[in-house]
Amino acid sequence: MDQQRSDDFVSDATAKIENTVSDLGTNAEKMAQDKIDQNEPVLRNLHQAAGAAMNKATDLARKASAPVVQAVDAIQGMAQDVGEAANAVYQQSARAGGSVSRYTSEQPLTALVIAGAIGYGLAYLIHRP
């Protein structure tokens, strides 16, 4: 009989514990759902604000990159122009050097007198008080 009583007591306690745990779980779930429902508008607003901030940042990056691209294009254009000018100067100096070489071989005495006059003029300019 004591054994029967102990078993009944244990099964009653187990049933009460199960009911209490079930009630606690239900209450915790209800409280969590209430908190989610309360914070849902805040979360929605945060999500919208984050989206708007991302759009603004993207627009600013696009606007900032346009002048940089234009500047790079302008610099590339100028570099190409400088390269073409340098090539033209090189070709012209090569032609002038060829002309001087031909003139020197045709008129060596006149070329010597001209070179001496240029050297004297430079020396005079350098050593002038």
pLDDT of residue 6: 65
pLDDT of residue 3: 64
- Reported confidence tier of residue 67, pLDDT bands at 50, 70, 90: confident
For residue 63, pLDDT over 60 is answered with: yes
**Mean pLDDT score across all residues of the chain:** 81
Concatenated DSSP letters of 68-103? HHHHHHHHHHHHHHHHHHHHHHHHHHHHHHHHHHHH
Domain ranges in the chain are: 2-127
How large is the average pLDDT for residues 76-99?
90
Torsion angle in degrees (nearest 10) through CA of 39, 40, 44, 45 = -30
Instruction: Give the contacts of 65 (CB within 8 A, at least 6 positions apart).
Output: none
For residue 117, pLDDT over 90 is answered with: yes
How many angstroms separate the CA atoms of 91 and 104, rounded?
Answer: 20
Interval 17-60: pLDDT, tens:
777 777 777 777 777 777 777 767 777 777 788 778 888 888 87
- Reported confidence tier of residue 7, pLDDT bands at 50, 70, 90: low
pLDDT of residue 2: 59
> From the CB of residue 40, how many other CB atoms can be counted at a distance below 10 Å?
10
